Amino acid sequence: MAGEGLFFAGTVLKNNRDLIKEDVVREELAIKKEQLELQKQDAANKRKDARSKGQKANLQDYSLDGINPLFVPDFQSNVGGYQDFANNNAMSIFDGDTGLRNEQSAQERDLSALSNNYISLSSDITSLDSLVNNNKGGQLKLAENGDYLYKYNMSMIQEATDGGMSMSEALELYPIDAQSMINKTEWEDPTKALFDADDSNDNRKVVSNDGEYNYTEIEPQKKADTQVFITNSLKVNSQGFHNDTNYKRLYDTKLLTLEGNEMTAKEAFFLESYIDPETGQVGGITGSDSLLEMLDPESERFDKDISNAYAEYLGKKISEEGYENKGRKQGGKFVGETSAEKKEREDEEAQIEYNNDKYKIISSSKTGDSHKTGYQTHYDNSDLKVMLDDKNIEGAISFADIMNGGSPEAVAFIEAATNGREGATDADVVIRGVTLDGNGKPVVLVKYLGSGNQVFVPYSILADRIPESSGKNVKNLVNYKQPEKKTTAAEF
């Protein structure tokens, strides 16, 4: 039994040692567990701290500098909405919510665009105010109440937004940008009024009848005079610019259609009419910028003679277009020849007789320039001129109208007329007489009032200054036309 007790005691001792080991393991496990708990708590505290920081949203700053008070409430409201969104979603955005982060970025872009728009409109308002305050608001639009439209629209925007309308809707209804506030006059081709006037009954003549109705046409001389006026207006003057900016616009931008193809008139000129000085080739030239520069008065390659040829070409083209739908028209009922028609017929017959007589004289005469004008005419022939010195008729001419304006005599005239008048483009003159040039066209001899210099200009320039009282001879002379040559059978 004693042996059995010793065995039991050994067993107990061994068990005790196992228990101690277990306790050590338990303690180690407890310590490790406690360490893990501390690590978890520490990580949680760090996350909590990070989240605490994340609650403060990363916001962009938006300034009110340069924004008119009219837009400030709406802009502040939009900024406030953006800030509320960012603050309310700060932790989720911090934790990486892509959708919310993209939404915040989108709101920031919208606010930047809105700020730029309001600053731009505010700048426009400042500019418009400046015009008004400096008495330069004459070109600004007015509202029905007589106030400037931009001021009226600003008040309407305020009223609309106070009533709940969004600023964007109000701005669409009541625009205030500077460009919308300026009166814009639609440009109208100045030649349209000329053709319409020529098409009036006053400028039409009866040319035939069918036994029931008369038929009228625009007088050929009226058409010719209008074409000359248009052509002269298209020409660049001696100072290198057009006297009328409306005709400059036609000169630069007129479009023509050739064989179904639309192109600029300048391109059409080179394609159809330009004469190559080296080869003599007429037209057929396309895509040449260097040639186009010869029509540009601001280019170093500008050529006045070629420019004048272009003006002649374009004047003819414009006239053909203008009269295209203004041909023969049915007039009043045919009632036989009236006294007025009889007088007109007799005048026409007298003019034809005059034309035949003067053509014989012209055919056997030479032109000259005894008055030192730089232009050859028949003024030296008493049968081909009408002197008007005793009428004391005065008028004004543009230097661009001077015949052969590049001649030394014409240059001397211009120098005398611009003496003490730097930049002048015209001159007051006295009309001395009317004659025909070498082409049978009527021209007027004028003398500058400030000197003895003389030049010729087209009759059409001063036609309104030469009254009917000047005599029938003037009327016949300026209406001269070379008789049409009739071909006989022997000439075939």
- At 17, the pLDDT band (50, 70, 90 cuts) reads low
Q: Torsion angle of alpha carbons 18, 19, 24, 25, nearest 10°?
A: 70
What does DSSP assign to residue 297? T
Select the highest-mean-pLDDT range: 6-15, 140-149, 373-382. 373-382
pLDDT for 30 beyond 80: no
More confident residue, 25 or 461: 461
Residue pLDDT, tens place only, 183-195: 877 788 999 999 9
Which of 25-34, 329-338, 421-430 has the least mean pLDDT?
A: 25-34
Output the pLDDT for position 16: 56
Q: Quick one: pLDDT at residue 23? A: 63
485: pLDDT confidence band, cut at 50, 70 and 90? low
| Per-residue model confidence (pLDDT) at position 54 | 47
pLDDT reported for residue 33: 66
Strand partners, 436: 442
* 492 has a pLDDT exceeding 50: no
Q: State residue 337's pLDDT score.
A: 67
pLDDT in tens, 300-314: 999 999 999 999 999
Q: What is the pLDDT at residue 161? A: 94
Band of pLDDT at residue 437, cut at 50, 70 and 90: very high
pLDDT at position 373 is: 95
Dihedral sign for Cα 401, 405, 410, 412, please. Answer: positive
Token output for 93: 């955005």
**pTM (two decimals):** 0.40
Taking residues 34-50, report their average pLDDT.
63
1: pLDDT strictly greater than 70: no
- Cα 311 from Cα 12, distance rounded (Å): 133
**pLDDT number for residue 459:** 94
Whole-number Å distance between alpha carbons of 342 and 337:
6
Q: How many CB atoms lie within 10 A of CB 65?
A: 8
Q: What's the CA gap between 207 and 219, in Å, rounded? A: 10
Out of 265-269, 331-335, 418-422, 431-435, least confident range: 331-335
pLDDT grade for 349, boundaries at 50, 70 and 90:
confident
**How much is the mean pLDDT over the chain?**
84
Q: How far apart are CA 69 and CA 159, in angstroms?
A: 14
Q: Which two tokens stand for residue 125?
A: 């308002």
pLDDT at 265 (0 to 100): 93
**84 burial level (CB within 10 Å; 0-12, 13-18, 19+):** exposed
What pLDDT is attached to residue 206?
A: 73
pLDDT higher than threshold 50 for residue 488: no
What is the predicted pLDDT for the residue at 450?
A: 80
**What pLDDT was estimated at residue 203?**
78
Of residues 336 and 423, the one with the higher pLDDT is: 423
Is residue 36 predicted with pLDDT exceeding 60?
yes
pLDDT mean over 277-290: 74
Going by pLDDT thresholds of 50, 70 and 90, the confidence category of residue 334 is low
Amino acid at 84: D
Determine the pLDDT at residue 489.
36
What is the mean predicted confidence (pLDDT) over 429-456?
Answer: 92
Position 487 scores a pLDDT of 42
Identify the band that residue 207 occupies on the pLDDT scale cut at 50, 70 and 90.
confident
Please choose, from the candidates 228, 432, 415, the residue with its C-alpha nearest in 3D space to the C-alpha of residue 318.
228
| Average pLDDT over every residue of 49-60 | 65
Q: How confident is the model at residue 407 (pLDDT cuts 50, 70, 90)?
A: very high
HSE-CB for 399 with a 13 A CA cutoff: 24
